[in-house]
Amino acid sequence: MSSTQTDVTNISGAITPSSFLIKKALLYPSNKTEPVDIRDMILKMDVEESLSNPFIVIEAFVQDGGNYFSRLRLNGNEKVELIVGRRKQADSEALDEDQKWEMTLTLIDVFQYSRMSANKQYYTLRMVSPWVVTDASKLVVNEFEGTMAGAIEKILRNNLSIERIEKINTSSKGSVQGVFPTISPLKAASWLLNNCYEESTPFFLYETCKKGVYLDSLKSMYDKDVQETYELKSFFSNTPGSAEYFDEIRTRIIKFSSPINYSQFSNIKKGVYGSEFEAIDIFNKKFIQNDYRYSDNTKLNKFQPFSNNDKVGELNLNQITQGRTFHVNLNPGAFEQSNIHQPLDNTIMKGEAYYNAMSTNVMKMQILGNFGLEVGNKIRVDISKASSAAALDESNMFDKYLGGDYIIQKIESNFEQKFIQSITLVRDSVGVDIDSKDPSEVDRNE
């Protein structure tokens, strides 16, 4: 792969959604010499962004035929400026702003060095968001006061000096006080994040290639509009080379798979449908007990992910509260305001239920590259039924049980001969009532 070979076209010469172009890849050496353009050295590049990580990780496999490893004194901590993008098919409905990523990174690792000839050497450059290195050099030892989201924002801006912040959701309720126990900034943010909720839904701290860092709640993700609808079906409606075909293939699923981790046993143990809460109030000398039962929860799709007919013994799944128990120490007299654990009093059971319910149904899909997608986006997936085309009519061809709305949990982007993405999707609910019968089954039984 080189910068002159990546603007992929199809056989008719039209741009395809798998095309890409490394427009800029400048590496700034530690010895302060002029930056070096490494675009033509990159043979392969993998990019990972996830709801679980407040930073991006990029690995570039390079072919070095100019002895740059030694000339640049590569040793890690070098700055890299990267722009990757593409042209789009004329008259396509794809947005112009969704055709490019622009990032500043820090090289943290040079590894997998190999040499198969005298004049070429190969190695991999691992690059991350700059604040990962900043985080390794600092400790947070101060006290904090205010909302959880507000305290996290101060860490991002003041301790980590992050400028590329797209959204800080400040809707977490309740003011608290506390002292950071001498930990790194990202660990401090993660510590606060564990107790940060909006309407009982958890918060996530993550970064996307397109826009930057987000601090946002699951409720906010649910409230988003569907960004894209992707289809898995066996035919195309438009002529290759046309703008309509570009848009159709751009939203076509190449592969759809799952680890099939749909487990009611696992959800019971995680407290998704019910749990118990036990707290010791040290200040007031009280023992507090409470329980949680799944009942008309806010969901991504219309229907709950379990059957009302399922029982364990004589109990429905949402009547089982002893599958998981939470233990919390409370000390409301320690500060004038509540301490860090106070939000857990009323929210930990439902908050953990929401968090773990997200992985009730995990799917992976492979698509042609889309620079506009971000983790945390809500998308819709239409999956054709696993049947012959002759047995399906277009009005009833999609599988409503597998299809529906999903949240993007992880994006793995691969740039080699083509731009391909592997998308991990999660959801807490399904598109049909589990207790309903398939219409074809009803027809056969009548």
What pLDDT digit, counting tens, does each position of 33-85 carry?
Answer: 789 999 999 999 999 999 999 999 999 999 999 998 998 899 889 999 999 99
Residue 103 has pLDDT above 60, yes or no: yes
pLDDT given for residue 254 in this prediction: 94
Please give the radius of gyration of the chain, using alpha carbons only, rounded to the nearest integer: 25
Task: State the pLDDT confidence band at 446, using cuts at 50, 70 and 90.
Answer: very low
Residue 330 has pLDDT above 90, yes or no: no
Residue 9 has pLDDT above 90, yes or no: no
pLDDT given for residue 234 in this prediction: 77
pLDDT given for residue 113 in this prediction: 93
Task: State the pLDDT confidence band at 335, using cuts at 50, 70 and 90.
Answer: low
Task: State the pLDDT confidence band at 343, using cuts at 50, 70 and 90.
Answer: low
Task: State the pLDDT confidence band at 4, using cuts at 50, 70 and 90.
Answer: very low
114: left (phi over 0), alpha (psi -120 to 50) or beta: beta
Residue 222 has pLDDT above 70, yes or no: yes
Residue 370 has pLDDT above 80, yes or no: yes
Task: State the pLDDT confidence band at 172, using cuts at 50, 70 and 90.
Answer: confident
Task: State the pLDDT confidence band at 262, using cuts at 50, 70 and 90.
Answer: confident
Distance in angstroms (rounded) separating the CA atoms of residues 231 and 212: 28
Nearest to 351 by CA among 200, 135, 152, 185: 200
**Mean pLDDT value of segment 173-189:** 88
Residue with more model confidence, 424 or 175 = 424
pLDDT given for residue 333 in this prediction: 73
Task: Collect contacts of 287-296 with beta carbons under 8 A, ≥24 apart.
Answer: 288/330, 288/345, 290/349, 291/321, 291/349, 292/321, 292/349, 292/350, 292/353, 293/318, 293/319, 293/321, 294/318, 294/353
C-beta of residue 4 within 8 angstroms of C-beta of residue 233: no
Distance in angstroms (rounded) separating the CA atoms of residues 194 and 49: 20
Q: Would you say how long the chain is, in residues?
A: 446
Mean pLDDT is lowest, of 204-213, 256-265, 298-307, for: 256-265
Mean pLDDT is lowest, of 45-49, 340-344, 414-418, for: 340-344
> What average pLDDT does the chain have?
87
pLDDT given for residue 346 in this prediction: 64
pLDDT given for residue 18 in this prediction: 92
Task: State the pLDDT confidence band at 332, using cuts at 50, 70 and 90.
Answer: confident
C-beta of residue 21 within 8 angstroms of C-beta of residue 176: no
* Nearby residues of 70 by Cβ (< 8 Å), 6 or more positions away: none
pLDDT given for residue 135 in this prediction: 96
pLDDT given for residue 327 in this prediction: 87
Residue with more model confidence, 90 or 290 = 290
Mean pLDDT is lowest, of 134-148, 149-163, 342-356, for: 342-356
Distance in angstroms (rounded) separating the CA atoms of residues 89 and 238: 14
C-beta of residue 381 within 8 angstroms of C-beta of residue 404: yes
**Mean pLDDT value of segment 323-337:** 78
Q: What pTM value is reported for the model?
A: 0.90
For the ranges 24-28, 140-144, 191-195, 263-267, the maximum mean pLDDT occurs at: 24-28
What value, to the nearest 5°, has the Cα angle with vertex 148 and ends 194 and 276? 40
